[in-house]
Structure 1
Amino acid sequence: MPLYELVCIARASANSNQDLRRLLKISALHVMNGGGVVRSFEANPLSPLPYRMRKHQEIYDKGITWFMRFDASPHLAQSLLKSLDFDERVIRSTVIKVGSDLK
């Protein structure tokens, strides 16, 4: 199973801490239910975005960037990315292949 890193920008809202926790939990459960292993999480505080981003018919200028490192099959990584595309709390997300083997 290759090692992947998910980079995600979540929207800032009044209850963004709860939204972020739910988003992290849903992402981790998606990986673990598919037979993958979550290695770590890292979240950066609310910060201005480099440029205005549009998603789900709204325009955002601030966001919370977070990272998740996980081992999973390529199919599982793509399905995670596809499920995050439909989540209204997510502004942008991408999956990067970091390594090729479980070490």
Structure 2
Amino acid sequence: MLYEMIAIIRPGKIHEVKEIMQTAGSTILRSGGVIRDIANWGVFMLPRATTYAQARYKKGHYVVMRYDAGVKAQETVSMALRLEPRVIRATSVKLGAGKLERMAKLSKVPWNTQVSMQMEKGLSDKQ
């Protein structure tokens, strides 16, 4: 089945982001899955301030991964990210389990940086 995972990691060091995604990716690969795409969206303002692991976050490092894996592998990756203290939030969505032709039409994850920069600027003006 094709899944899309979006993870919000505490902002700061890029090597932490790489390490977390490498751990998730190796879990998928060990279970016989295939990683289709990894997109590093960068650091953006969170929709609202969030408290996690005794820290308050206003920004987060967004990362998106698309992968094919079984249900067991997806559950393992979700649990590993839930237990990781550097991950503010992570969620996975099943995109498809059907025909290859239909799944091939799914394109890369778009991200409009101009809109997000305007939102970030608007949020920083209010604070």
TM normalised by structure 1 equals 0.91
59, 78, 91: which one aligns with 1:94: 91
Could you tell me how far apart the structure 2 residues matched to 1:76 and 1:24 are? 15
Indicate the structure (1 or 2) with the bigger Cα radius of gyration. Answer: 2
> Are 2:16 and 1:19 aligned?
yes
Give the number of the structure whose residues are more often strand, by fraction: 1
Coordinate RMSD, CA, aligned: 1.1
Spell out the pairing of 1:54-93 with structure 2 (5 A cutoff): 54-93=51-90
* Identity level (%): 27
Q: Deviations over 1:25-58 (max 9, x none)?
A: 1111010011111111001121111101121121
35, 40, 48: which one aligns with 1:38: 35
Q: CA deviation at 1:101?
A: 3.5
* Structure 2: runs of 5 or more not aligned: 101-127
* Structure 1: runs of 5 or more not aligned: none
Any conservation in 2 of the 1:56–1:88 contact (CA below 8 Å)? Answer: yes
- The ranges of structure 1 where at least 4 consecutive aligned residues each deviate by more than 4 angstroms after the TM superposition are none
Q: Between Structure 1 and Structure 2, how many residues are aligned?
A: 100
Q: 3-state DSSP class of the match of 1:12? A: coil
Aligned to 1:6: 5
Highest RCO, 1 vs 2 (Cα 8 Å, sep ≥ 6):
1
Q: 3-state DSSP class of the match of 1:43? A: strand
Give the number of the structure whose residues are more often helix, by fraction: 2
TM normalised by structure 2 equals 0.75
